[in-house]
Structure 1
Amino acid sequence: MKKTKLGEFEELVLLTVASLQEEAYGVEIKRELESRLNERLSVGSIQSALKRMEEKGFLTSEFGEATQKRGGKRKRIYAATPYAHRVLRELKDVRAGLWETIPHLAHDLKSA
């Protein structure tokens, strides 16, 4: 596997962006991650991860339409690139392969 330089938190943010698709903007990404992780996250930590991943080529972003609900401000909507999808598949395969090498845990996970 090619070295991806993708940290654990970045991977979670990237998976969330890929999952949310057209709804992948800061507040919604934060809400989804907090719900799944059952912990509070700072907007800054998410914004930093999004910026880093955009610089690394994992994400693209564009502004959505301004809405009255947001006081005329536009959302920055993120999308995972084809490169990001490839890296996520590689990471999933590596993890699945490692889980399968743990006899007791692999068996427990299959029967769960």
Structure 2
Amino acid sequence: MKTYPMGEFEEIVLLTVGVLYDEAYGGAIKDAIEEKAQRNVSVGALQAALKRMEKKGYLESREGEFNAQRGGKPKRYYTITAFGKQALQKNKDIRLKLWRAIPKIAFDFKYT
């Protein structure tokens, strides 16, 4: 059985790369996570996660066009690989299996 080690933040980043599709670069990823997940993201944590997931084979990156506004530095765009999609699917399957296994009584709260 293949393993797909992925933390919660990595999963959020990977899902956001999918949401942004062709526009998935650092700044856009950070903004989308902050807006959609309502959580603050440091540039350093995001860059570390992107590099880590690229090393794991979940993401690929490419350089965009040079940009004078960025001091001539190109944006780096990210896309999900087939392996990254498998990892996301595995995580989704595990979460759904666990959610479905919770007995209804576990959420039958009595408030006073």
Q: TM-score range by the shorter chain?
A: 0.7 to 0.9
2:46 partner letter: I
Q: Which residue of 1 aligns with 2:46?
A: 46
TM-score, normalized by length of structure 2?
A: 0.85
Q: Classify the secondary structure of the residue corresponding to 2:75.
A: strand
Question: Alignment identity in percent?
Answer: 49
What are the superposed Cα offsets for residues 54-87 of structure 1, whole Å, 9 maximum, x if unpaired?
A: 0111111010112344343210000110000011
Q: Unmatched 5+ residue regions in structure 2?
A: 108-112
Q: Unmatched 5+ residue regions in structure 1?
A: 108-112
Length, aligned pairs only: 108
Q: Which residue of 2 aligns with 1:21?
A: 21
Q: Which moved more, 1:63-72 or 1:9-18?
A: 63-72
Where in structure 2 are the equivalents of 1:69-88 lying within 5 Å? 69-88=69-88
- Which is greater in Rg? 2
User: Which runs of 4 or more aligned residues in structure 1 lie more than 4 Å from their structure 2 counterparts after TM superposition?
Assistant: none
1:44 partner letter: G
